[in-house]
Homo-oligomer: A and B are copies of this chain.
Amino acid sequence: MAVYTQVSAEALSAFLDRFDVGELVSAKGIAEGVENSNYLVDTTKSRFILTLYEKRVAAGDLPYFMALLDHLAGKGLPVPPAVPDRAGTLIHELEGRPACLIQFLSGVSVSHPTPAQAHAAAEAMGRMHAAAADFPLDRPNSMGFDTWLPLFERCGHSLDEIQPGLYDDIGFALDDVRSAWPGDYLDRCAIHADLFPDNVLMLGNRVTGLIDFYFACTDIRVYDLAVMHAAWSFDASGRAHDKAVGDALIQGYAQSFPLSDLERAEFPVLATGACIRFTLSRAWDWLNTPADALVTRKDPLAFWRRVKTYDNALGSRLRTLA
């Protein structure tokens, strides 16, 4: 999370000339989101985020993301749509990178959400899913169910460098989750797929922004809530579950989508899958980031430990969770 691509004030001014957004007043590189370069840009008229997409976001996916944000913003959701230039173009090129000028949203990300904040955020997710119902585009989940086994295999026995026995245990859990994973009978729609507290802007208990849609995709609707539940309702180590926050998430989401009996029954496997997804992606990053790099590696075990909360029967069979 840094500024990888430098944009000079001169180049930025020339870029802004394509838009009807006034003149450049201030620009600061910000540390935000996935591995893109972001600038907070003030003009004489308004305030924007300029994002230059680095390699992790595929340029081919940008039309999907921007169409989704435009669709959701059009229905009043607090998401940051890209600003079209005078020709109506949303996706540009700047300093050799795909680039979008995105509307700025106020608010801050809370580090320790209260139940009231969790309720409001999950309510916003419910409204987002309702608004996504008639969104016409599809994008496979690049970090979805089908990708976990290949990613597990790519990590391989190096997983045991993180904790001895982790390779066998994740393999076992993955088999277990795959055999129980819900089929086509659960609702699917465009989901955020990464709605961590980082990606929700709030003022007090009010949601002012849902941001960082760069994992958005078509997938099981309640899986989005399961990801959120795993991300919001644990302490940083993944050991302590905050049931009040977890329940508030389910209740907030229920304002649009009360869980059906079937969804309630499937929730533990969806959440266990979410835990495995983040364990594996963090394990991959952990094993492939030099320990002395200026990037904070996220502890893969923090998500692995959550498995016990969602599936105690499974957790009790895993030596690494003893």
Known: A2-B2, A40-B40. A27 touches B108 (CB 8 A): yes
Give the docked Cα–Cα distance between A294 and B3 (Å): 10
Give the docked Cα–Cα distance between A28 and B38 (Å): 11
Is the CB–CB distance between A110 and B10 below 8 Å?
A: yes
What 1/0 flags go to A20-52 for Cβ under 8 Å of B?
A: 000011111111100000001010000000000
Asked whether A111 is an interface residue with its Cβ less than 8 Å from the other chain, the reply is yes
Q: Give the residue name and chain of the B residue nearest to A107 (CB).
A: B26
Copies of this chain, how many? Answer: 2
Is the CB–CB distance between A294 and B294 below 8 Å?
A: yes
Is the CB–CB distance between B290 and A292 below 8 Å?
A: yes
Min distance, Cβ A120 to any Cβ of chain B, angstroms:
15
Is the CB–CB distance between A108 and B24 below 8 Å?
A: yes
Q: Which B residues touch A40, using CB under 8 A?
A: 28, 30, 40
Known: A31-B2, A108-B12. A294 touches B295 (CB 8 A): yes
Min distance, Cβ A318 to any Cβ of chain B, angstroms:
31
Give the docked Cα–Cα distance between A2 and B111 (Å): 20
Q: Which B residues touch A109, using CB under 8 A?
A: 9
Name the contact of A26 in the complex, choosing from B1, B10, B12, B108 (C-beta under 8 A): B108
Give the docked Cα–Cα distance between A32 and B6 (Å): 12
Is the CB–CB distance between B30 and A28 below 8 Å?
A: yes
Asked whether A8 is an interface residue with its Cβ less than 8 Å from the other chain, the reply is yes
Among A97-128, those with CB < 8 Å from B are 106-112
Size bracket, chain A contacts: 20 to 34
Asked whether A203 is an interface residue with its Cβ less than 8 Å from the other chain, the reply is yes
Q: Which B residues touch A2, using CB under 8 A?
A: 1-2, 31, 294
Is the CB–CB distance between B28 and A111 below 8 Å?
A: no
Is the CB–CB distance between A9 and B106 below 8 Å?
A: no
Known: A112-B8, A294-B2. A106 touches B32 (CB 8 A): no
Asked whether A262 is an interface residue with its Cβ less than 8 Å from the other chain, the reply is no
Most buried by B among A2, A31, A40, A112: A31
Q: Give the residue name and chain of the B residue nearest to A4 (CB).
A: B294
Is the CB–CB distance between A110 and B3 below 8 Å?
A: no
Q: Give the residue name and chain of the B residue nearest to A7 (CB).
A: B111
Q: Which B residues touch A112, using CB under 8 A?
A: 8, 10
Asked whether A291 is an interface residue with its Cβ less than 8 Å from the other chain, the reply is no
Is the CB–CB distance between B29 and A32 below 8 Å?
A: yes
Is the CB–CB distance between B25 and A203 below 8 Å?
A: yes
A-side interface residues toward B, CB under 8 Å? Answer: 1-3, 8-10, 12, 24-32, 40, 42, 106-112, 201, 203, 290, 292-295
List 4 additional contacts besides A3-B31, A26-B108; criterion CB under 8 Å. A1-B29, A8-B110, A10-B110, A293-B293
- Residue pairs across A and B with Cβ atoms less than 8 A apart, 12 shown, are A3-B31, A8-B111, A8-B112, A9-B109, A10-B111, A10-B112, A25-B108, A26-B108, A27-B108, A28-B28, A28-B31, A293-B293
Nearest 4 interchain pairs by C-beta: A8-B111, A9-B108, A29-B31, A294-B294
